[in-house]
Amino acid sequence: MVKHHGVPFLDKKQTKLIVNKSNINDIKNILGNPSTKSKFDNDIWIYIERKQSQSELKNLGKMKIYKNDVLVLEINNNGILKKKKLYNMEDMENIKIVKETTEEGFRKNSFIYSFMSSMRQKVNDPLGQRAKKRKEISQR
């Protein structure tokens, strides 16, 4: 059993698109509407083709991906294709994921830390009742 998702024969169809020549209408006629759109400086249209088949009996019938193509198109404000990139499964396996993390943003001596601490105190004790109790105890 084969499950297909997205634009069939994406790798072949995308060859008909010519950078700096094809426009939005050409793209829609060849590929249809995109799977995803995004707006940055230019429009980014993403097309996906994924095929899965049921694996062997020894794997208990789990689905196995055997085709996973992603086409990323960048379209300028005039509706002309400016850039295209096709990613296949091998490309995606070679993508490195950064494992770095962001350092702690709020140090105890920073202005933001002190501001947030004072806000927390006001939220926890909006009427200043704790301060009044401390003052009463110290006067006794």
Q: Look at residue 45 and tell me if it is in a domain.
A: yes
Same domain, 89 and 110: no
Residues 52 and 121 in one domain: no
Pick 108 or 140 by higher pLDDT: 140
DSSP conformational letter for 57:
G
Q: Residue 99: inside a domain, yes or no?
A: no
Assess whether 24 and 71 both reside in one domain: yes
**Is there a single domain that holds both residue 10 and residue 57?**
yes
CATH number of the domain that 51 lies in? 3.30.1450
For residue 125, the enclosing domain spans: 106-135
Supply the pLDDT for residue 127.
Answer: 66
Supply the pLDDT for residue 52: 81
Total domains present in the chain: 2
85 and 119 in one domain? no
| Same-domain check for residues 65 and 127 | no
Q: Are residues 50 and 83 in the same domain?
A: yes
What is the amino acid identity at position 74?
E
Classify residue 75: in a domain, yes or no: yes
Contact 40, 75 (CB under 8 A): no
3-state secondary structure of 86: strand
Q: Are 20 and 79 in contact (CB under 8 A)?
A: no
Q: 85 and 20 in one domain?
A: yes
Task: Report the mean per-residue pLDDT for the chain.
Answer: 76
Least confident segment among 20-34, 38-52, 123-137: 123-137
In a domain, 98, yes or no: no
Question: Which carries the bigger pLDDT value, residue 85 or residue 55?
Answer: 85
Question: Are 47 and 86 within 8 A, CB to CB?
Answer: no
Give a yes or no: residue 122 inside a domain.
Answer: yes
Q: How far is CA 12 from CA 15, 31, 51, 89, in A?
A: 6, 11, 15, 16
pLDDT band at 22 (very low <50, low <70, confident <90, very high): very high
pLDDT by residue (tens digit) across 66-113?
788 889 999 998 999 999 999 887 766 665 656 666 555 545 556 666
